[in-house]
């Protein structure tokens, strides 16, 4: 147990004063052992070696010492420190010819330099408090609600509603969000922090990166400052702002950057994401992840929903979003994107294979879009895709990952099994561009 010797001054006179033996300064591990086993710690500290010729030292009796009060002792120590500093400074002045000089590493050691460096690193960027970040970015994050037509299992049509978040990126109403927040929406409504609501129009969307841009007819908005996600380090502050559960707009949660460059597969798309332990909930999608300077470093798009798992949220790095966002704002789509035009289905068990009446486990074509590259190549529902240009595949994610290596104009040879017959289908890829009705067409 440690204590302050000044707190025990009144007990000093009760014991006979003992002449202290000089010992070396213990190491950190010695200090740890000293608490656990004082005898052992004492033995590990280096002691002065006694001569074999001289007799063992004998404790010398001294007259009873005079003790100072705490105040007097403190004043004496302070006075000694002042005198020592003055003498040291004067000696340095004489040694240097009487001119003051800056201390260098040799004279002061490396501890001061290391401390100054640590302080400079800590103060770089003027990190804000969570409250300051919330105040800075609060007006830049919006609530998004959507309506879309859906069908029940009995094919009855009804209107389904959804909710998410978005981040204002220009003062004249451009808003960044996730593709999955507004996908297939018939109406999109944006609510600002002040409670005002606007009908939004879809500017463009990119399913591959899960990014979309919408726009409202408003001016004088507060856009978020875009940060640099490539400069992030694990452990630095991360603040998420969004609309969890679709009812709690402007909610702020904080945490850290838990990991960088996480490869996560979401609905068949393998994405490179930031990981954070800031609380993420349904409705946060499309909201902002901000750094310690209140800069937008990511667009929240996913969380792990497994039972018993907490603290696993993910966001698209803003550096991966910038070019996509600019192209969507400029032309409504991302150049060079391809879309074969089929929907795939993973069959992973024999039970599923029996249910779908197919022979093998693998990745199957579930449906083919009319007029698409897949339709033009001759794909049919029920085809099992076994390989792309000789590379075997068994899941939708593997197919999607390989397709990222191709560009408009390329040809792909698919190895396919249809029923009991195996063969190949050659597909020529075209660029995906939006049509006049807001959908997409092939060029």
User: Could you tell me how many residues make up the chain?
Assistant: 443
Classify burial at 311, counting beta carbons within 10 Å of its beta carbon; exposed 0-12, middle 13-18, buried 19 or more: middle
Whether 304 contacts 282, CB under 8 Å: no
Catalytic residue among 33, 140, 180, 206: 180
Catalytic residue among 229, 258, 285, 415: 285
- Give φ, ψ of 364 to 5 degrees: -120, 155
- 285 part of the active site: yes
- Give φ, ψ of 106 to 5 degrees: -70, -40
- 330 part of the active site: no
Nearest to 181 by CA among 278, 283, 265, 249: 283
- 180 part of the active site: yes
Whether 213 contacts 174, CB under 8 Å: yes
Catalytic residue among 210, 320, 373, 383: 210
Whether 225 contacts 294, CB under 8 Å: yes
Exposure b/e, 210-229, CB count within 10 A at least 16 = b: bbbbbbbebeebebbebbeb
Other C-beta atoms within 10 Å of 56: how many? 5
Q: How far is the CA of 108 from the CAs of 103, 112, 115, in angstroms?
A: 6, 7, 12
Extract the runs of DSSP E, i.e. beta strands, from 122-236: 141-151, 157-168, 174-177, 187-191, 197-206, 211-215
Other C-beta atoms within 10 Å of 183: how many? 15
- Catalogue the active-site residues: 180, 210, 285
């Amino acid at each position: 147990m440690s204590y302050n010797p000044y707190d025990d001054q009144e007990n000093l006179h009760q014991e006979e004063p003992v002449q202290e033996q000089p010992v070396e300064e213990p190491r950190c591990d010695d200090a740890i052992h000293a608490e656990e086993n004082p005898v052992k710690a004492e033995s590990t500290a280096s002691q002065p070696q006694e001569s074999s010729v001289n007799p063992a030292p004998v404790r010398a009796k001294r007259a009873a010492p005079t003790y100072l009060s705490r105040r007097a002792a403190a004043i004496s120590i302070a006075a000694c420190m002042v005198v020592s500093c003055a003498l040291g400074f004067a000696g340095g002045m004489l040694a240097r010819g009487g001119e003051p000089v800056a201390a260098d590493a040799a004279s002061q050691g490396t501890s001061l330099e290391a401390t100054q460096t640590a302080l400079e690193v800590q103060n770089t960027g003027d990190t804000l408090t969570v409250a300051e970040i919330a105040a800075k970015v609060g007006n830049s994050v919006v609530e998004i609600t959507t309506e879309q037509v859906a069908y029940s299992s009995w094919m009855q049509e009804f209107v389904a509603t959804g909710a998410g978040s978005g981040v204002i990126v220009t003062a004249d109403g451009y808003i960044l969000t996730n593709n999955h927040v507004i996908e297939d929406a018939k109406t999109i409504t944006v609510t600002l922090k002040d409670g005002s609501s606007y009908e939004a129009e879809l500017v463009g969307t990119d399913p591959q990166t899960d990014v979309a841009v919408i726009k409202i007819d408003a001016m004088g908005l507060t856009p978020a400052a875009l940060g640099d996600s490539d400069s992030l380090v694990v452990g630095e502050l991360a603040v998420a702002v969004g609309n969890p559960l679709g009812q709690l707009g402007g909610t702020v949660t904080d945490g850290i950057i838990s990991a960088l460059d996480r490869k996560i597969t979401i609905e068949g798309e393998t994405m490179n994401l930031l990981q954070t332990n800031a609380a993420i909930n349904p409705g946060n999608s499309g909201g902002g992840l901000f750094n310690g300077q209140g800069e937008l470093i990511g667009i929240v798009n996913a969380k792990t929903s497994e039972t018993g798992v907490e603290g696993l949220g993910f966001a698209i790095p803003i550096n991966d979003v910038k070019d996509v966002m600019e192209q969507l704002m400029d032309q409504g789509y991302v150049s060079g994107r391809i879309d074969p035009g089929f929907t795939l289905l993973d069959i992973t068990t024999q039970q599923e294979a029996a249910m779908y009446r197919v022979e093998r486990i693998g990745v199957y074509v579930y449906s083919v879009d009319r007029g698409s590259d897949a339709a033009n190549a001759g794909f049919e529902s029920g085809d099992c895709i076994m390989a792309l240009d000789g590379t075997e595949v068994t899941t939708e994610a593997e197919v999607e990952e390989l397709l990222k290596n191709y560009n408009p104009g390329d040809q792909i040879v698919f190895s396919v099994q249809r029923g009991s017959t195996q063969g190949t289908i050659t597909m020529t890829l075209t660029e995906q561009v939006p049509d006049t009705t807001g959908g997409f067409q092939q060029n």
